[in-house]
Amino acid sequence: MSKTRVAGFSLSLEGFGAGPNQSLENPIGEGGMALHAWAFPTRTFQAMHGEGGGVTGVDDDFAAASFAGVGAWILGRNMFGPVRGDWGDESWKGWWGESPPYHVPVFVLTHHARAPLEMKGGTTFHFVTGGIHAALDRARAAAAGKDVRIGGGVSTIRQYLLADLVDEMHLALTTVLLGRGESLLQGIDLRALGFDTARRVPTEHATHVVLTKGAR
């Protein structure tokens, strides 16, 4: 059965999924790149950039699993780019350049309509103005029985959690201290939503925690 899931999402020791002051120079906020130090050296991440090599092992296993079986993604607008308000000349085509790493349909939450954007490698960005439920309906249809991955950012994941629409989460808990930022779970009762810890695997760079829906 297909799932709606969060995967490979990194958190600081304080529970922040992004640092403060996001910008073109700091897309994950100040200090935010350090959250993903566990992923950068992996074979999976290196392959996303068209490079060979990279390390294998537990971190790479989790990185690879985060892409496996995914038929569509949902992203908040910040995850697509730093542009605010109306799209203007629509020259911005995403953080990843001409060949994004998704390779499936991606549904971007926005208040401003934009025509679909077809990229190299099988990624097409669809811009959804109807809210989180409309995006999920479209993503499920596009996924054709595969999983839908809620890629972030923090605000988007929180919206789906609060609406009780997430079936599974893989969080990579790091020892990074950001001091300030965007809290993923503040005020959210995961037990009340039915989540239990299914796996906990520590590595040198992160502790990987998989949360799944259990019996309520």
pLDDT digits (tens, 9 = 90+) for 179-193: 999 999 999 999 999
The whole domain housing 159 covers 4-20+30-84+97-213
Residue 118 domain-assigned? yes
What is the number of structural domains in the chain?
1
Does some domain include residue 91?
no
Most confident residue range from 75-79, 97-101, 144-148:
144-148
Q: Produce one character per residue of 80-113: b if its CB has 16 or more CB atoms within 10 Å, e if not.
A: bbebeeebeeeeeebebeeebebbbbbbbbbeee
Q: What is the mean pLDDT of residues 125-133?
A: 98
Segment 40-64, tens digit of pLDDT? 999 999 988 777 789 999 999 999 9
Residue 95 phi, psi dihedral angles, 5° rounding: -65, -25
The yes-or-no verdict on residue 34 having pLDDT over 80 is: yes
Buried b (16+ CB within 10 A) or exposed e, 129-159: eeebeebbebbbebbeebbbbbbbbbbbbbb
**Residue 108: inside a domain:** yes
Judge whether 42 and 175 are in contact, CB under 8 Å. Answer: no
- Give the mean pLDDT of 155-160: 98
Whole-number pLDDT of residue 114: 95
Give the 3-state secondary structure of residue 158.
helix
Residue 33 scores a pLDDT above 80: yes
pTM value is: 0.94
